[in-house]
Amino acid sequence: MLRKCILYVAGTAVIAFALGAAACNKSSDERKPRPATRRPAPRTAPARRVIELVELDIGIGTDTVTRATPGIPKGLKPPHLRAEGKRAAFMVVPGMKNLAIYKTVTAGEEPTVGDVDQITDGIKKSGKFDYVEFSQPGWVQIDLGGPQTIHAVVIWHFYKNATIYNDVIVRLADDAAFTKNVRTLFNNDHDNSSAMGEGGDKAFYTRWWGEIVDARGENHAGTPARYVRIYTGEGWEGEPPRFVEVSVYGKEK
Ligand SMILES: [Ca+2]
Ligand SMILES: [Ca+2]
């Protein structure tokens, strides 16, 4: 079941937001009672703005993804590998849509398996013909068709065999050549082997539930951009880069 919560943004916006967001991202059994503290009441209560939040629905029902979960290969221990665990609910403002569906996809090179259009065709299964493969590290890029405000990018690399891909970097830009207003949302290239800067994000196993990259921004205002580019290196065991689907969530303009 999708969850909802209310976030208050007030005169003490940063503190209020941080506490609110943390509460939203914790499951109920993780919440711990806080010791009561006495604080002097402010003389004038700041005006409050209410932001309603709902859990982002990324479309991972049994009819849309292949939920058979393969085992995790043993002995793979990248130094920056994230421990697997239940993902916290990803809370967003209501009204999110997949802005990437059926949008134009380009890539740094021609795929060796499949067609780049499959990356935004909405099919997230792990079947024999449901992925796009490249022969070497590179990128795929989605043109949202015009300026949009993005709240999340969700990536399904090939997940039939749980794979750890190197150097996953997600960037946004205002132009197709990625020269204007380039921003990095995610970078797990911990050793800068792709020469785009050392990234502090964790490596992860590809799974049917996809990888959510946060673009919500301050006070859930989202991040404006038209183009989304996703770099991906080889897998930790030398697997070629393979994409199943990319969704980009925002409110359609
Ligand atoms: Ca697809
Ligand atoms: Ca690297």
Q: Quickly tell me which residue has 């920056």 as its tokens.
A: 80
Contact 209, 60 (CB under 8 A): yes
9 and 91 inside one domain: no
Mean confidence (pLDDT) of the chain: 88
Cα–Cα distance for residue pair 227/147, rounded to 1 Å: 8
CA dist 138 and 166 (Å) reads 11
Q: How far is the CA of 157 from the centre of ligand 1 (A)?
A: 10
CA of 24 to the centre of ligand 1 (A): 30
177 three-state secondary structure: coil
Cα 155 to averaged position of ligand 1 atoms, centre (Å): 10
199 Cα–ligand 2 center, Å:
9
Higher pLDDT, 12 or 149: 149
Tens digits of residue pLDDT in 137-152: 999 999 999 999 999 9
Q: How far is the CA of 159 from the centre of ligand 2 (A)?
A: 20
34 lies in the same domain as 147: no
| Exposure b/e, 159-194, CB count within 10 A at least 16 = b | bbebbbbbbbbbbbbeeeeeeeeeeebbbbbbeeeb
Ligand 2 geometric centre to CA of 226 (Å): 27
Instruction: State whether 42 and 143 are in the same domain.
Output: no
Number of H helices, E strands in the chain: 1, 12
Kindly give the distance from the C-alpha atom of residue 233 to the centroid of ligand 2, in angstroms, as a whole number.
8
pLDDT above 70 coverage of the chain, percent: 83
| Cα–Cα distance measured from residue 174 to residue 42, given in angstroms and rounded to the nearest whole number | 43
Does residue 30 sit in the same domain as residue 136? no
Write out pLDDT tens, residues 80-96: 999 988 899 999 999 99
**Claim to verify: residue 84 and residue 69 sit in the same structural domain:** yes
- Determine the pLDDT at residue 32: 56
Residues 162 and 61 in one domain: yes
Give per-residue pLDDT as tens, 166-209: 999 999 999 999 999 999 999 999 999 999 999 999 999 999 99
User: Are 143 and 234 in the same domain?
Assistant: yes
Domain identity same for 13 and 97? no
Same domain, 60 and 42: no
DSSP assignment, residue 187?
Answer: E
Tell me: the pLDDT tens digits for 43-90?
Answer: 777 777 899 999 999 999 999 999 987 888 888 889 899 998 889 999
As a whole number of Å, the end-to-end CA separation of the chain is: 28
Domain hosting residue 9, numbered range: 4-52
Domain CATH number, residue 118: 2.60.120.260
Shared domain for 31 and 147, answered yes or no, is no
Centre of ligand 1 to C-alpha 231, Å, is 17
Q: What is the pTM of this model?
A: 0.85
Ligand 2 midpoint to CA 179 (Å) = 23
The Cα–Cα gap between 239 and 65 comes to 21
Same domain? For 152 and 238 the reply is yes
How far apart are the CA of 72 and the centre of ligand 1, in A? 23
- Distance separating alpha carbons of residues 8 and 77, to the nearest angstrom: 41
Tell me how many domains the chain contains. Answer: 2
In this structure, are residues 137 and 233 in contact, taking their beta carbons and an 8 Å threshold?
yes
Handedness of CA 72, 208, 233, 224 (dihedral sign): negative
In tens, the pLDDT along 13-28 reads 333 333 334 444 444 4
The reported pLDDT for the residue numbered 253 is 80
Contact 12, 20 (CB under 8 A): no
How far, in Å, are 46, 135, 216, 226 from residue 103 at the CA level? 43, 23, 21, 11
Domain shared by 144 and 24, yes or no: no
